[in-house]
Amino acid sequence: DVKVTQSSRYLVKRTGEKVFLECVQDMDHENMFWYRQDPGLGLRLIYFSYDVKMKEKGDIPEGYSVSREKKERFSLILESASTNQTSMYLCASSPAPYHNSPLHFGNGTRLTVT
């Protein structure tokens, strides 16, 4: 079974802090994704990566960056956290090709920025 592990289940940070959200998958998947989930808005794609050191912007990349130095790990970085980034963050992975492969999600990180 695919396992996608997010480092923290709950996180509380202060405005202006640099925040790192870590995600690791154990199935050698090429593709990894970061989504945020907000009530009434569904899941919105922040960034995704289809290979090591490759990244592409999703629909809402502003205020975020990502890093993929190893195939199994995809990090989401909030350069300077703001209160409007309080949300549930979901990491996912999938095998290639990404446009028709099912996503496997982690348990999510609920981030609160105060």
Partner 1 sequence: GQQVMQIPQYQHVQEGEDFTTYCNSSTTLSNIQWYKQRPGGHPVFLIQLVKSGEVKKQKRLTFQFGEAKKNSSLHITATQTTDVGTYFCAVTSSNTGKLIFGQGTTLQVKP
Residue ranges binding partner 1 (CB under 8 A): 33, 35, 40-45, 48, 58-59, 90, 98-100, 102-108
- DSSP state, residue 95: P
Which is nearer to partner 1, 41 or 54 (by Cβ)? 41
What torsion do the CA atoms of 37, 43, 44, 50 make, to the nearest 10 degrees? 110
Which is nearer to partner 1, 78 or 90 (by Cβ)? 90
Which is nearer to partner 1, 27 or 82 (by Cβ)? 27
Q: How far is the CB of 28 from partner 1 (least distance, A)?
A: 18
73-78 and 109-113 as β-strands: parallel, antiparallel, unpaired? unpaired
Q: How far is the CB of 106 from partner 1 (least distance, A)?
A: 6
Q: Are 15 and 82 in contact (CB under 8 A)?
A: yes
Tokens of residue 107, six digits: 């348990």
Which is nearer to partner 1, 71 or 110 (by Cβ)? 110
Q: Give CA–CA dist 23/91, Å, rounded.
A: 6
Q: How far is the CB of 2 from partner 1 (least distance, A)?
A: 10
